[in-house]
Structure 1
Amino acid sequence: MEDFRYKEYDGLGLAELIKRKEVKPTEVLSEAIKAIEEHNPKLNAVINKFYDKAEKQAENVDLEGTFAGVPMLLKDIAQEVEGEKITAGSKAYQGYRAKIDSTYVKQVRKTGALFVGQTNVPEFALMGITEPKYYGPTRNPWNLGHTPGGSSGGSAAAVATGMVPIAGANDGGGSIRIPGSYCGLFGMKPTRGRTPVGPVYGRLWQGASVDHILSRTVRDSAAMLDEIKIYEKAAAFHTQPFAGSYLQQVQGGPAEKLTIAFSVQSPLGAEVHKECQEAVYKTARLLESMGHNMVEMDAPVDGRKIAKSYLTMYFGEVAATLASLEDVLGRKAKMSDVELPTWILGLVGKATSAEEIVLSIREWDNAAIAMEAFHETYDFFMTPTTAFPPAKIGELEPTASEKLAMTAAGKLSLSGILKKAGTVEQVAKNNLKRTPFTQLANLTGQPAMTVPVHLTPDGLPVGVQFMAARGREDLLYTLAAQLEQTDIWIPVQSNPIF
């Protein structure tokens, strides 16, 4: 094909060219590799490359697949490819190779997508920034001095620069939506139980974490969810099946008149940057002009209780992760095996009681019940995706005094004292202040999306989040497709590196 401009096409667009035999899968893959090699040295988004395997796959692509011949990156956690490294951003896993494909990978493979590599993540996907010590920080293509967010930051940076049109992502507290917001992308966190978590696990982060993709277009996200939504018998959670096509929802025309509640108030009672507020207000004005009914109000939940219950799970999961390292290392983990904050989080997790865990899960269920009743009146709940624009690289590092206190406590394994002092909880809450809006959907199991609708005066994207009732991704996709056709939608192609 003459004048083939790889970056101009989304995933479905590339697949259509390949199906019509206007371009070969090998040619498309070659363009993806060129883009990765050109941009990755500046961004550090891709940390493991599968070029040889992808080239072999490109020579024998089944053209029936929805994404046949389309280059795609996977995230370096929970998206295992048999025989390939998967490190979860940690040096503790530096010698580990996946024993089998994850069910997510098996489902995506059926679409004909070509896996070209893995993307950078914070250690064990624990942060809303992507700055692992093992691989180094990933940078935001809109401004290299800033974070692309996390934990799917590598995937977001790669898609936002046109390395690939789609990339694997997962979301346990905002890890699809936060980097989607920071990099000007569309990101859908599906309903709990909609996408696979097996075959090794029956739940991830007690059901808070789900897998999907980050994309430049709404239709790519919808088409991929059509392909990966399955009933997984051994999974701990299932959701009501969706018999229709999400892609058809995107193509089905404007949404009907909807009732949308919205708020710019932090559920933690903390500051929300004026640009993040403006993103919501201008979106509300647009939606009202389209005929939708807009109501400014808060969600019917206690934001501080939600944050506390999220952090309780978070601490416990880190402790369990460190305990499971014995299977990988052949010995018990020690402080030098992981990053200092990870170790300290694990110590706090050890001091977290079974009672606290049970009470936190009850809080999740209380919130889910309240939000289900809420959505009987309101189709969506709209908020800023994040409370602040992207932080600068290194800005959220613990202070020198915090590191000193954590190092001393870590060496002495003073888990109870650490928990009582609240040092780690305060560091965690300080980070949550920047991203307080996303955790609610993870705990309730609701679907939620971020849409790219605003740029700050210095050219950094901030997104707007919409939540819907459980099982209503179709409603979210319909609204997203409607917004995508308006001038409010920020084209990712306008970032300096694309």
Structure 2
Amino acid sequence: MSVERVLWEHDATGLASLVRKGEIAPQELVDAAIARAEATRPDINAIAEPLYEAARTRAKTIDRKLPLAGVPFALKDLGIAMKGVPTHGGSRIPAFVADFDSVMTERHLAAGLVPIATSTSPEHGLRLMTESAAFGITRNPWNTAHTSGGSSGGAAALVAAGVVPVAHASDGGGSIRVPAACTGLVGLKTSRGRVPLSPLVTESWYGLVVDHAVARSVRDSALLLDLTHGPDPLSPYAARPPRGTFAAAAVRDPGKLKLAVYRKSPLGLPISAETLTALDTAVALAREGGHTIEEIDLPYIGRDFIADFARTVAAAVAGAMRIEVLRVGRSVSGDVERATRLMSRFGEIVSAGEIYAGLQRLHATSRRLITETAPYDAVLMPVIAHPPLACGAMDPKGADAFIEDVLDRLRLARLLKFKPLFGQLMDKSLWFTHWPAIQNVSGQPSIALPVHVTDAGLPLGIQAAGRPGDEETLLSFAAQMEKISGWQARRAPLRMPA
């Protein structure tokens, strides 16, 4: 069997085992990953910065006893630093080149992972499709006419294409779970404070953003979390310590769980029949696992909640643009995309008092959500309202493009203070994915599970949201679902190795 085939077939845990046993060399794995990265690059366009020579050098001296020794890996081109590597954030703003490693990068390297590239992101992670003026369109390995999701769409495309078995990802409003749901992967959004973002930042988007990974298997997600979690002195949050290891949780029988199902759209927008079928598939798998299921409603999670979330993100983007101006030493307005520019301008005119009040409303709703769902071990709900969209489907067109252009050219972002116009643009931005922001606000963990394949052959995952700090129950449940469904054996058909 070729090394490329081994890379394509195995998850990270399996590859590391082969390295430890001496059945394959780290250099062979890294060379195979680089070759596959280049072979699939024209198809999926998922690489921001190749790190090939540094990866080959690292592979030669890696300690083969490390838990993930020699396993090829990718870092997201957003929100994480690796010394000497340009970070673009999916933007045409001049790249930031760090002279330090993020704590997460240090932990990735200490685990034995070998970064071969940085993966593409939409500009500043603001779209849930990975398409940018700086890097173009990142495509889904299952069908390259469709999106791999966002904002960790490059990471998901590389994993789904068999270039790397696991990749760093981040999630501020679904950016791990949406790509996982689009590409047939496991995507765990961790509890707030589970992994540090320091020293690049102490928190991002008022604590909404967390980092972890997209992976082929539940056990990979669990093992990587074991190797990267834990507080850092510069972190403002710390999640509840696990009772044991996450890897142990992923092989443990979950027992009989009490689960809830939430089917409604918080935005009141249409949900496709395929999405509801995927949710029904997850419910059927859970029942097969012996769990009880109860339908619930969350009437207080609605349009006002999502609007407060959106205004909070706009304020964070405005602040980020100010920081970029200071870093670059000039205006960056002409470097960024129209939608980013418009969001930043809106964020500038939302008052500090409005943002504070909105955050307090979000926190109050989160407390109610956590309290009322505490009797359940997990709540099943959709991630994406429709199967993976065609590339370019979220681009403003017709009247929408005209309105956005007028707001930008005439600097009329203040008109977004009017609730009907703001609501219209919010719906256009979020009609693909209505639910994931809930857990970014509440800080709860949530895991995207690849339970369904559409009639057109596209993956469509759902999510299970857990109690704060309880990734262990989610991983145990997810591993059982993986075993019952057999989804780990599925692979995207793109350039299958001989």
TM-score calculated relative to the size of structure 1: 0.96
CA distance in 2, matches of 1:258, 1:2: 42
The CA deviation string for residues 121-142 of structure 1, in whole angstroms up to 9 with x for no partner, is 0000001000001110001111
1:56 to partner: Cα distance: 0.7
**Which residue does 2:438 correspond to in 1?**
440
1:268 to partner: Cα distance: 1.5
Give unpaired runs (5+ residues) of structure 2: none
**Which residue does 1:168 correspond to in 2?**
168
Q: Which moved more, 1:417-426 or 1:154-163?
A: 417-426
Give the aligned residue type for 1:93: P
Secondary structure (helix, strand or coil) at the match of 2:491 reads helix
CA distance in 2, matches of 1:2, 1:332: 51
Give the aligned residue type for 2:412: L
CA distance in 2, matches of 1:476, 1:418: 39
The CA deviation string for residues 288-342 of structure 1, in whole angstroms up to 9 with x for no partner, is 23321101112363222221121011111111122112123211332x2110111
Give the aligned residue type for 1:318: V
Q: 1:380 to 1:20 in 2, by over 3 A?
A: same
User: Contact conserved, 1:344 with 1:424, CA < 8 A, in 2?
Assistant: no
1:206 to partner: Cα distance: 0.7
User: Contact conserved, 1:364 with 1:443, CA < 8 A, in 2?
Assistant: yes
Q: 1:52 to 1:222 in 2, by over 3 A?
A: same
What pairs with 1:405-484 in structure 2 (closer than 5 Å)?
405-420=403-418, 423=421, 425-484=423-482
**Which residue does 1:390 correspond to in 2?**
388
Are 1:301 and 2:272 an aligned pair? no
User: Contact conserved, 2:80 with 2:200, CA < 8 A, in 1?
Assistant: no
CA distance in 2, matches of 1:405, 1:305: 23
**Which residue does 2:379 correspond to in 1?**
381
What pairs with 1:272-287 in structure 2 (closer than 5 Å)?
272-287=271-286
User: Contact conserved, 1:441 with 1:448, CA < 8 A, in 2?
Assistant: yes
Secondary structure (helix, strand or coil) at the match of 1:211 reads strand
**Which residue does 2:76 correspond to in 1?**
75
Matched length: 495
What pairs with 1:321-332 in structure 2 (closer than 5 Å)?
321-332=320-331
Q: 1:419 to 1:300 in 2, by over 3 A?
A: closer
User: Contact conserved, 1:305 with 1:363, CA < 8 A, in 2?
Assistant: no
Q: 1:360 to 1:491 in 2, by over 3 A?
A: farther
Give the aligned residue type for 2:338: L
**Which residue does 1:103 correspond to in 2?**
103
User: Contact conserved, 2:160 with 2:492, CA < 8 A, in 1?
Assistant: no
CA distance in 1, matches of 2:492, 2:145: 18
The correspondence for 2:343, drawn from 342, 345, 355, is 345
1:488 to partner: Cα distance: 6.0
Q: 1:87 to 1:192 in 2, by over 3 A?
A: same
1:143 to partner: Cα distance: 1.1
User: Contact conserved, 1:218 with 1:250, CA < 8 A, in 2?
Assistant: yes
Are 1:266 and 2:265 an aligned pair? yes
User: Contact conserved, 1:141 with 1:497, CA < 8 A, in 2?
Assistant: no
User: Contact conserved, 2:222 with 2:250, CA < 8 A, in 1?
Assistant: yes
**Which residue does 2:27 correspond to in 1?**
26
CA distance in 1, matches of 2:180, 2:391: 17
**Which residue does 1:35 correspond to in 2?**
36
Give the aligned residue type for 1:145: A
TM-score calculated relative to the size of structure 2: 0.96
Q: Which moved more, 1:358-367 or 1:185-194?
A: 358-367
Are 1:88 and 2:89 an aligned pair? yes
Give the aligned residue type for 1:485: K
Give the aligned residue type for 2:105: V
Are 1:485 and 2:479 an aligned pair? no
User: Contact conserved, 2:161 with 2:492, CA < 8 A, in 1?
Assistant: no
Secondary structure (helix, strand or coil) at the match of 1:427 reads helix
User: Contact conserved, 2:285 with 2:481, CA < 8 A, in 1?
Assistant: no
**Which residue does 2:116 correspond to in 1?**
116
Secondary structure (helix, strand or coil) at the match of 1:207 reads coil
Q: 1:183 to 1:430 in 2, by over 3 A?
A: same
1:258 to partner: Cα distance: 0.8
Secondary structure (helix, strand or coil) at the match of 2:142 reads coil
**Which residue does 1:213 correspond to in 2?**
213
1:47 to partner: Cα distance: 1.8
User: Contact conserved, 1:142 with 1:497, CA < 8 A, in 2?
Assistant: no
CA distance in 2, matches of 1:383, 1:251: 24
Q: 1:337 to 1:209 in 2, by over 3 A?
A: same
CA distance in 2, matches of 1:67, 1:488: 24
Are 1:143 and 2:143 an aligned pair? yes
CA distance in 2, matches of 1:159, 1:283: 23
Give unpaired runs (5+ residues) of structure 1: none
Q: Which moved more, 1:235-244 or 1:161-170?
A: 235-244
CA distance in 1, matches of 2:284, 2:125: 36
Q: 1:216 to 1:146 in 2, by over 3 A?
A: same
Q: Which moved more, 1:376-385 or 1:50-59?
A: 376-385
User: Contact conserved, 2:216 with 2:488, CA < 8 A, in 1?
Assistant: no
Q: 1:21 to 1:442 in 2, by over 3 A?
A: same
The CA deviation string for residues 419-452 of structure 1, in whole angstroms up to 9 with x for no partner, is 3375465223222122111110000000000000
